[in-house]
Chains A and B, each alone.
Chain A
Amino acid sequence: MTGGNPIIQAEALDKYYGSFQALDNINMSVHSGERVVICGPSGSGKSTLIRCFNALEHHSAGKLIVDGIEVFEGSKEIRRLRQEVGMVFQQFNLFPHLTVLENLTIGPIRVRKVPKAEAEANAHRYLERVHIPEQADKYPSQLSGGQQQRVAIARSLCMESRIMLFDEPTSALDPEMINEVLDVMVGLADTGMTMVCVTHEMGFARKVADTMIFMDGGQIIETAPPEKFFTQPESERCKAFLEQILEH
């Protein structure tokens, strides 16, 4: 699991929005097949960090290498990088004018230049994997939030990404739909996919994470395997945060 070079390597990343510092000296690495869960209070910079990993945001200083590609603003390699790094958003960001099947195939067909028949066969396979094969011809607005998020996961999978980033994938969902999405994510973790998840679902984190990261104020405060993270957190801030969200 930890053999070889890391697939994501961040060294001394800083990120500023004007004078506000969103990321402060981030150092971390993710190895192939590793599952990392990042948590922390809102505004701690966790979303900004994973958005940097597929260049939706650009870091202001430091060095970031993802899948052997150095990420920086204006790099010609960014589109190639994004094909390798899938992203699942809090708000799904499905394309409302396309059917579910078209949502899944437009990337492979237009970006990866996969033949249409092959792309559709793949799409059906991945819809099966997220347990909604019967919804292929519907439009996103006809699906529930949980189903939409599973389509979004399938859309990333269809790009045959090697790394999957999840930015609070269940935060916009009604409580009864959270589990169907988490189940799909657990299934994905079982296939050995490299995953970086920003989430507050601690049950999920315990189940799949190899590494837990706690962020606050743009810094990584604590990095630990889950057994240690949940039972003996070192920092006071992390302890206080865990007490708050595990209380209920």
Chain B
Amino acid sequence: MARSHSTDYVIPKPPLPGRILASVPVSITIYLLVIGFIAYTAYDGSKAMGYNWQWYRMPQYLWTMTDEGFQWGEIALGLVKTLQLSLLAFVLALALGLIVALLRLSGLLVGTAVARVFLEVVRNTPLLVLLYLFYYVLGPIFDLDRYTASILCLGVYHAALISEIFRAAINSVAPGQWEGASSIGMSKAQAYRYIVLPQSVRFMLPPMTGEMVNMVKSSAIVSVIAVAELTTMGRNIISDTYMSFEVWFTIAAVYLLVTLTLSFGVSLVERHYALK
């Protein structure tokens, strides 16, 4: 007992340069320097090309307060449309994705084949081309307006990605759970509903958040068929005012705000489904 334990096990410190870089004040300083440099370059560049900043004209496109009262601006209305579009498409993608995943896992030859063909076709078609197919080909055939065609296209495109999330999450549930469910006489459908799907939620939440964020972002593509969503509104405002810098900065910030909020919301849900 003569020797103290602390002398037996000395945890080596990392080398000095590493310690300095890792310290909080140094990190913050470096971060600010980098951001400052980027901002300055942008400002300097725009000044060199003689860009006329008119930020003061931007707020009216978010909202206005006139004698007639409060009114949402074009960007806010576009955002609502974007959210509506993304939400409807996401619900469609969830339903379709679950069906495709279950077909693929069914073990039925036909089911697997149908799911595989769907996946390969959708995953290997560019989103823009898929949108043209829905709007210019399926649109006239089935009499779809541009809004419906957009929802269907985004839903189908993301269903392919979401079905893979479902499949991976379902496969992550321990095989013993199926046996446990079978051994008390559950049918396959009951085992899915009461035992396997509830447990797989935990595995699918993180990638599903990513898909929600992707959905909001890829919904911007429907601006090419002039659905009146956020990106289209941006383009319209620019064609009226030529304020391309201000408008695109604002639109990007609005998208960022939405996707960050979504991620934060899901992290709360994730905590609820964490292992007990």
B253 CB to nearest A CB, Å: 39
B192 CB to nearest A CB, Å: 12
Q: Which of A143-161 contact B (CB under 8 A)?
A: 155-156, 159
Asked whether B261 is an interface residue with its Cβ less than 8 Å from the other chain, the reply is no
The distance in angstroms between the C-alpha atoms of A141 and B275, with both chains bound, is 9
14 more CB-based (< 8 A) A-B contacts, given A87-B179, A97-B198: A79-B185, A82-B184, A83-B184, A83-B185, A89-B176, A93-B174, A95-B195, A96-B199, A97-B199, A111-B184, A141-B276, A142-B276, A156-B184, A159-B185
B102 CB to nearest A CB, Å: 19
The distance in angstroms between the C-alpha atoms of A54 and B194, with both chains bound, is 21
Asked whether A49 is an interface residue with its Cβ less than 8 Å from the other chain, the reply is no
- Asked whether A56 lies within 8 Å of B275 as measured between CB atoms, the reply is no
Nearest 5 pairs of A and B residues by beta carbon: A93-B180, A107-B184, A83-B185, A87-B183, A93-B176
Describe B's contact surface by its main secondary structure. Answer: helix
**Nearest A-chain residue to B276, judged by Cβ:** A139
- Asked whether B183 lies within 8 Å of A106 as measured between CB atoms, the reply is no
Residues of A within 8 A of B195 (CB): 95
Interchain Cβ contacts within 8 Å, total number: 63
Set A80, A82, A110, A139: member contacting B183, Cβ < 8 A: A82
Residues of B within 8 A of A (CB): 174, 176-177, 179-187, 190, 194-195, 198-199, 275-276
7 A–B pairs (Cβ distance < 8 Å), ordered by A: A79-B186, A87-B183, A91-B176, A96-B275, A107-B184, A111-B190, A139-B276
A141 CB to nearest B CB, Å: 7
**Nearest B-chain residue to A106, judged by Cβ:** B194
Residues of A within 8 A of B185 (CB): 79-80, 82-83, 107, 111-112, 159
- Asked whether B183 lies within 8 Å of A56 as measured between CB atoms, the reply is yes
- Asked whether A94 lies within 8 Å of B190 as measured between CB atoms, the reply is no
B146 CB to nearest A CB, Å: 43
Residues of B within 8 A of A110 (CB): 186, 190, 194
The distance in angstroms between the C-alpha atoms of A106 and B194, with both chains bound, is 8
The distance in angstroms between the C-alpha atoms of A56 and B227, with both chains bound, is 54
Residues of B within 8 A of A80 (CB): 185
A52 CB to nearest B CB, Å: 13
The distance in angstroms between the C-alpha atoms of A175 and B198, with both chains bound, is 33
A70 CB to nearest B CB, Å: 17
Residues of A within 8 A of B194 (CB): 106, 110
